[in-house]
Amino acid sequence: MHDYAEEVLALVQAKNPAEPEFHQAVREVVESVERVIERHPEYRAAKILERMVEPERVIIFRVPWVDDQGEIQVNRGFRVQMNSAIGPYKGGLRFHPSVNLGILKFLAFEQVFKNALTTLPLGAGKGGADFDPKGKSEGEVMRFCHSFMSELYRHIGPHTDVPAGDIGVGGREIGFLFGAYKRLRNEFSGVITGKGINWGGSHVRPEATGYGCVYFAAEMLATRSDTLQGKTCLVSGAGNVALHTLEKLIQLGAKPVTCSDSTGFIYDEQGIDAQKLAWLREIKNVRRGRVQEYTERYPQASYTAFVPGASSSPQWDVRAQCAFPCATQNEINEEDARHLLANGVTCVVEGANMPCTSEAVKTFLDAGILFAPGKAANAGGVATSGLEMSQNAMRVCWLPEEVDDRLRTIMRSIHAACMDAAAAYGTPGNYVNGANIAAFIKVADAMLDQGVV
Ligand code: NDP
């Protein structure tokens, strides 16, 4: 069986050269599901894995726009429509200079498994552009989004492909994208999620990824008769996922002490409370500034700038019990993982997509600590997007408590599905295997049912 797994990985590497993040994401899944394929030769016979690693469709397009100086700018737009076996393609759009096809393929591949875990009928896709909204005027961001949608609109639709936000795509960008789609199609439909609450959005969607992560952490701790109450927590990032993770941690009585952006991190030993979080929100969402500005109002906190190319990050070398990496992929390497363990961390929950390198994940699993992969822990965002789609289809708007209740129930089911699948395949407590196996079986069975498509 090991030979078959290596064969699939070799094929992926040969067909997708220079896409290391995609290789990394595929390897992790293949290593988990080889034990399933051993028990179920029908998956191998139907070449399920070979089909899953090949996107159903990839769209690459030019995004020309005019900046405030009247200069023409050209970016590259993408949509990877990865798998529609269990529902319409669903997954976010990322606007960041690092965006390329390999990054989006890794994200789209992860999305297949994440969406299957949500219990909802959601296929998987991911898209974006190598555009950086940071430092751009409102007018520039709007013109870019309108140009981006003037091509994307022909490939998406409420029953085909429903994008949402991701890094660099928040409420503002979703508004501009939706406005352009509506105008081009002359149709008001649930074609994109993360919309404003007054125009088809769902309560709790902005909060859902961060809240979901914390709900997942609470479920994991409960398996060891423990809670988040009083736990010192490290959080990275200061965007959508990080800020709502901080909010829920504070609500549940934990003590978050860090957050970061791409230039550095702040450490507030006394804890980030609700009032300090309000200041962070103002910095990020109103001033569109840097986390360093936190220390202007709270000088007892320290700010440490990151050193480009450093072998480890000082933000993971702080005494704590839990860590929530919520910024970006591969932000925790093996050395960081060892620092976290040495500092007393016994629970790591991935808020971002694949924030831990494969070596870091292995370090955590070998140490026997609680480790939640992003595809399970951060699935609350896409799950609530699924709930937004349901509300749009029914033309209703559920109350915040109702959506939050559903989110909690979904996170509880994901946790249970991971535990059950891990145990059924001989690796109890291994959430990486559990998430990959439970999701793989669901998608693979749907693919078998639908024949060779
Ligand atoms: P945002 O754009 O809102 O925030 C991203 C944050 O991470 C910012 O603080 C940003 O800092 C920081 N960051 C980005 N790149 C880097 C980097 N290379 N090094 C250090 N810090 C970095 O994005 P989200 O919060 O939406 O997304 C964060 C992660 O969560 C991503 O991995 C995303 O794929 C994942 N995710 C998001 C979901 C959602 O619902 N939004 C759902 C599921 C997963 P700076 O401002 O300096 O760039």
Specify the CATH architecture of the domain 208-377: 3-Layer(aba) Sandwich (3.40)
Q: Express each pLDDT in 242-300 by its tens digit.
A: 999 999 999 999 999 999 999 999 999 999 999 999 999 999 999 999 999 999 999 99
Q: Please choose from 105, 261, 291, 411 the residue to mutate so as to test ligand 1's pocket, defined by most ligand atoms within 8 A of CB.
A: 261
CB-CB contact of 402 with 390 (8 Å): no
CA 236 / ligand 1 centre spacing (Å):
9
Task: Supply the residue whose CA is at minimum distance from atom 22 of ligand 1.
Answer: 262
Report the distance separating Cα 329 and Cα 323, nearest Å. Answer: 15
Please state the pTM of the whole predicted model: 0.97
SS3 letters for 376-405?
HHCCHHHHHHHHHHHHHHHCCCCCHHHHHH
CA 329 / ligand 1 centre spacing (Å):
9
Tell me whether the CATH fold assigned to 2-188 matches the one assigned to 208-377.
yes
Report the distance separating Cα 92 and Cα 78, nearest Å. Answer: 11
Q: What is the pLDDT of residue 2?
A: 80
Identified catalytic residue from 90, 105, 114, 126: 126
Task: Supply the residue whose CA is at minimum distance from atom 40 of ligand 1.
Answer: 381
Report the distance separating Cα 297 and Cα 279, nearest Å. Answer: 8
Task: Supply the residue whose CA is at minimum distance from atom 35 of ligand 1.
Answer: 352
Tell me the C-alpha to C-alpha distance, in Å, between residue 322 and each of 171, 241, 303, 347, 393.
29, 16, 20, 5, 39
Q: What is the pLDDT of residue 1?
A: 59
CA atoms lying within 13 Å on the CB side of residue 446: 17
CA 314 / ligand 1 centre spacing (Å):
19
Ligand 1 — pocket residues by CB below 6 A?
A: 165-168, 170, 209, 237-242, 261-263, 326-328, 351-353, 378, 381
Report the distance separating Cα 110 and Cα 330, nearest Å. Answer: 14
Fold adopted by 2-188: Rossmann fold (3.40.50)
CA 326 / ligand 1 centre spacing (Å):
6
Q: What is the pLDDT of residue 269?
A: 98
Q: Can you list the residues of the chain whose pLDDT is less than 50?
A: none
Annotated domain spans of the chain:
2-188, 208-377
Q: Express each pLDDT in 11-54 by its tens digit.
A: 999 999 999 999 999 999 999 999 999 999 999 999 999 999 99
90 tagged catalytic: no
CA 449 / ligand 1 centre spacing (Å):
37
Task: Supply the residue whose CA is at minimum distance from atom 29 of ligand 1.
Answer: 352
Pairing of strands 264-267, 258-260: antiparallel
